[in-house]
Each structure stands twice: as structure tokens, then as C-alpha cells.
Amino acid sequence: MEIKVCGPGCASCEKTQKVVEAAVAAKGKEVSVIKIKDFQEIAQLGVFSTPAVVVDGQVKCVGRVPKQNEVEDWIG
């Protein structure tokens, strides 16, 4: 499983990264977390507002910080 956290590094983007990492740790599964800061790469994913979370190529959250339990649900 691959989770991409999209954002330039603003406070909300950093918080999103921490929430995703906490959810991954809580689930204890093999998950690759990738931080994407390049706007062109973010746009290629179909994301035009940050922060955003993309799980295995599917956009799950845009323009807000997700709750940890949401991310855990996405992980399964």
C-alpha cells in the first residue's frame, strides 16, 4: 500500500503528514508514506487543493486535514 501526502509544507500539510504516520503506526501494516511537494506532480494526481491524501492512486481527502480514524479506515 502506498499513501501520498500532497502539499507544499504548510502547517496543515505537516499536520496531515503526522496524522497519516500515526494511523500507519496504529494499524501496524506495511505502508509506504510519500510526501509530495511539487505542484505539477500534485496536479497530475488530480489534486488542486492541499493538503491532500492519495491512497493507492485514489484521492481520499482534499483541502483539509483528515482525522486519524479516517486514515485508519482507508488503510483497512
Structural domain boundaries enclosing 15: 2-75
Q: What is the pLDDT of residue 76?
A: 93
Domain CATH number, residue 52:
3.40.30.10
Q: What is the pLDDT of residue 49?
A: 95
Residue 8: CB atoms within 10 A of its CB come to 12
What is the number of structural domains in the chain?
A: 1
Q: What is the block-wise mean pLDDT of the chain (76 residues), using blocks of 10 residues?
A: 96 97 96 96 95 98 98 96
Alpha helices in the chain (DSSP H): 11-27, 39-44, 68-75
Q: What is the pLDDT of residue 29?
A: 92
Please give the model's pTM, rounded to 2 decimal places: 0.94
Q: What is the pLDDT of residue 46?
A: 94
- Whether the CA torsion 75, 62, 10, 45 is positive or negative: it is positive
